[in-house]
Amino acid sequence: MSSIPKIVILGAGYGGILTAQRLQKELNYNEADVTLVNRHDYHYITTHLHMPAAGTDKIEHARVSISKLIDEFKIDLVKSSVKEIRLQDRKVILEDGTLSYDYLIIGLGGEPETFGIPGMLDHAMTIRSINSVRLIREHIEYQFAMYKNDNKRNRIRFVVGGAGFSGVEFVAELADRIPQLCKEFDVDTKHVHIYNVEAAPSALPGFDPELVEHAMNVLKKKGVTFKIGVPIKQCLPDGVIVGDGEKIDAATVVWTGGIRGNSLLEQAGLEVMRGRVKVDEYLRAPGHEHVYVIGDNSLVFNKEGRPYPPTAQIAMQQGVNCAKNIVAAIRNKQPQPFEFTSKGTVASLGKGEAIAVVGDKKYKGWKAAQLKKLVDLRYLFIIGGIPLVLRKGRFFG
């Protein structure tokens, strides 16, 4: 190692940002060189993307300039894409240069998991970045505009694949947006159809059945048609084939059915399961004690031996733990095992509606919607303090 260790963080998602912020707080001046690599110069709030995708909120509310979140005298921000990770050489190859490291944190975010469904990668859109969200919103508006010209009914039919968190939250926002679009483009609302298709036997897997039933009832009243226990067999340019061969004609297919890890990890020679690395108790990649893997790229198991779902909540806690363990390694101190503590789960169901579980308490409706706002405001406060809460927070609506 050089006299001053080099720490490289790949990705400025929930885990990457929290790692960077904690390192800048814990490290003394000149104790380490820290570099944060991200494709964009902003951090985006993934759990908020379903709203601008449907057009119910501004894109600006879902992103924050990284320069407002880190001290650029302590952390060097490199705006670039990662092309290759060379573990043996302790190097990261970027599109426009190379970085060497003594400690590497991989938090590159996930990729869509299509489970091999033919045509899904080619014809469906995904809610996974600011650019993809902009594309979905503009595409939906374009379909309404075109419908007035050619009267093709499939233009105002929408299929959302997957009824997990992302799928349900997106269909809720889309259902809220439809009346506004119909008014704007003079379209009869009864001609618009939203389908939410899920292969599993239940929507919102892992949620309490009573809350799932409430969520589905709320969304059905908003005009959503559920197809639960029905897999999508194929995605076409003009719709999907589901179940036993039924075709749903739709000019818009949005896939929210799964996230896998990042293909760069497997290419680097790490052992992966669906693109994720099963990390050790200190969040390190097996066999590479200077490489930490967090967020969508990591696989962490609970005491029952089941993997935790890759949520923002777990990524944030991993970021804090990861930073502490790197500081401990630099100072030759004992690392702390990572233990996830659930703060609860909230799913938004559109304007004024949500479901939530906090501890052993269940909430639905307006109370749950206020909890969702509190969760969002808490995150803004954690990463940017009161100024960010005031700038980006949603207090009403």
- Residues with catalytic roles: 169
Burial class (CB in 10 A: 0-12, 13-18, 19+), 7: buried
Give me 291's structure tokens.
Answer: 């490489």
First vs last C-alpha separation in the chain: 53
Count CB neighbours of 385 within 10 A.
11
- In sequence order, what are the residues at sequence separation of 6 or more whose Cβ sits closer than 8 angstroms to the Cβ of residue 331? none
* Cross-strand partners of 166: none
Q: Buried b vs exposed e over 80-91: b needs ≥16 C-beta within 10 Å?
A: eebeebebeebb
Token digits of residue 196:
């939410």
Query: What are the tokens at 318?
Result: 């991993």
The residues, any chain, with a CB within 8 Å of residue 322's CB and separated by 6 or more, are 15, 19, 105, 283, 292, 294
Alpha helix stretches (DSSP H) within 77-160: 120-123, 130-150
Residue found under tokens 């998602």: 13
Q: In the structure, how many helices (H) and strands (E) does the chain have?
A: 9, 27
d(CA 347, CA 388): 23
Q: Which residue has the tokens 């693109």?
A: 275
| Sequential DSSP letters for 286-345 | TTEEEEEE-GGGEE-B-TTSPBPP--HHHHHHHHHHHHHHHHHHHTT------------E
Residue pair 4/308 in contact by the 8 Å Cβ criterion: no
